[in-house]
Structure 1
């Protein structure tokens, strides 16, 4: 049985990519990041939950923007916070 793709991920027609390979909030505060994620609603690139400041999850909680993509080179996937849905793409 094929996995269902959530409606938030299904609505993505063009994956936004990081303009700069850095967490915008960590740069402002002198913080550090482990991996980066790009919001598919507004295009901001922020750090992941493995990073000390977890800026992308804070962004989701503040804005409700549900879908992020990996901003890491060679990783092609989307994650929906709201539905806890994960999809790899080509």
Structure 2
């Protein structure tokens, strides 16, 4: 059995109470005038980046450059079932 799948993600200790810097869109895409898809706010600093299906993948780039690996989806763009939440860890490439 994969230990990473059963053990809590160690990067969750980096999650903070943050306010997204630009809830209206991806920070870099807004500056560049580039389109984006779904958004992923960083749960360490509040940076808002676009997810991997977007042309420039700014959330992933931020996670690796700043070493802030945990992000979550922005609602209501990606609604989840009532009571359900999820986070993505770019370092582990898995749900956190």
For this structure pair, what is the TM-score category when the shorter chain's length is used for normalisation?
A: 0.7 to 0.9
Equivalent of residue 50 in structure 2, options 39, 47, 52 = 47
Runs of 4+ in 1 over 6 A off after TM superposition: none
1:33 matched to 2:36: yes
| TM-score normalised by L of structure 1 | 0.78
The worse-fitting range, judged by mean Cα deviation, of 23-32 and 64-73 is 64-73
> More strand by proportion, 1 or 2?
1
Cα RMSD of the aligned pairs, angstroms, is 2.3
Unaligned 5+ runs, structure 1: none
Tell me, in whole angstroms, the C-alpha distance in 2 between the residues paired with 1:78 and 1:15.
14
Size of the aligned set, in residue pairs, is 86
